[in-house]
Structure 1
Amino acid sequence: MVSAVAQIADDDRARLRLWLRLLRTTRAIERELRERLATAFDTTLPRFDVMAALDRAPEGMMMGELSRFLLVSNGNVTGIVERLVADGLVVRSHRDGDRRAAIVRLSDAGRTTFAAMAAAHARWIDELLGPIEPDAARDISATLATFRSQWENDA
């Protein structure tokens, strides 16, 4: 009897190995970033991600828009935003007086705090991915962008 893995064609096996390497690499980098954010800024990666999304939209984002951008549920985003509001890093306003249509954006303190976190994050990524030459990084990124656009359009 032949194992299921042995039945996989060489090309498919190469793609499977690629998937596993991407997954392991992503998990390792994410774990390191989580630790560094906790140590340096006493924050979490999800909080950083919310602040990064809001930094890209200085005019603010609707809560639903924010959750779609981050590819997480409204409930996950709501809890994080509530804590960021309580910490004074995010402000919430309501569109046209509609309390259900909350728009959130970084506060002045949030922009300052995020700028420091983003600078450290960029240094950490440069350190963690330092062995990859810039041209190779651009090539890998372009390949992954092509792949993403192929399956994203079908969704």
Structure 2
Amino acid sequence: MATVIPAVADVESRVLDDHHQALKIWLRMLACTTRVENVIRQRLRNEFGTTLPRFDLMAQLDREPDGLSMGELSARMMVTGGNVTGIVDQLESEGLVQRAAHPSDRRAYQVRLTAAGRRQFRRMAAVHEGWIVELFDGWSPAQKTQVHGLLATLKQHLAGIDTVPAPKGKRKEAA
């Protein structure tokens, strides 16, 4: 039998019927994303004594066996270089990552998972995947396929939109 989860008041619940449908969808997506992220954060903390940013950094490094520069990590994680440095410092002190001179930039470091870091990350990643499967178990396989397709369409649409609109009264000139 499915567990009934009580409704939680959030920004989405304040949307009125006369608000635009796009706003309702945005707030619903945000509410769901926040809830999933909060569950994952709590479980990572309880199960592994780690944080989501540490997990994310290790995931980036697991995908790149040759390592990534601090700048590349910062860009991929969409956080400041200072945030990446702090996380790398912690993981390095625990023997989970190592820094080495960057092969083509003397001013930069290349960061790689150590063997212990790779083992630890892969153990966490397997459990993490199970959590994600559990959290999305409320949808049938067909619904998951439908949502995935709809979000792919939205992502493609968003890729064609400027992130910074031109100031009012100014037209973007053709190149």
Q: Does 1:74 align with 2:68?
A: no
SS at match of 1:92: strand
Q: Does 1:118 align with 2:142?
A: no
Moved over 3 A (4+): 5-8, 96-99
Higher helix residue share: 1
Q: Does 1:148 align with 2:155?
A: yes
Identity %, equivalent residues: 46
The 5-angstrom pairing of residues 47-62 of structure 1 reads 47-62=54-69
Q: CA deviation at 1:6?
A: 7.4
Q: Match for residue 38 of structure 1?
A: 45
CA deviation map 1:56-90 (0-9, x unaligned):
11111111111111111111111111111111111
In 2, Cα distance between equivalents of 1:18 and 1:28: 15
The 5-angstrom pairing of residues 88-99 of structure 1 reads 88-96=95-103
SS at match of 2:90: helix
- Residues 57, 16 of structure 1: alpha-carbon distance in 2 compared, 3 angstrom cutoff: same
Please, what TM-score do these two structures have when normalized by structure 2?
0.77
Which of 90, 101, 109 in structure 1 is aligned with 2:108?
Answer: 101
Q: Work out the number of aligned pairs and report it.
A: 147
CA RMSD of aligned residues (A): 1.8
Please, what TM-score do these two structures have when normalized by structure 1?
0.86
In 1, Cα distance between equivalents of 2:92 and 2:47: 21
In 1, Cα distance between equivalents of 2:126 and 2:103: 35
In 2, Cα distance between equivalents of 1:6 and 1:122: 36
The amino acid across from 2:135 in the alignment is L
Any gaps of 5 or more consecutive residues in structure 1? none
SS at match of 2:65: coil
Q: CA deviation at 1:18?
A: 0.8
SS at match of 1:105: strand
Which of 23, 32, 36 in structure 1 is aligned with 2:30?
Answer: 23
Which of 52, 56, 72 in structure 2 is aligned with 1:65?
Answer: 72
Q: Does 1:83 align with 2:68?
A: no
SS at match of 2:55: helix
The amino acid across from 1:37 in the alignment is L
Moved more, 132-141 or 115-124: 132-141
Q: CA deviation at 1:129?
A: 0.7
- Residues 96, 60 of structure 1: alpha-carbon distance in 2 compared, 3 angstrom cutoff: closer
The amino acid across from 1:43 in the alignment is T
* Larger RCO (CA within 8 A; separation ≥ 6): 1
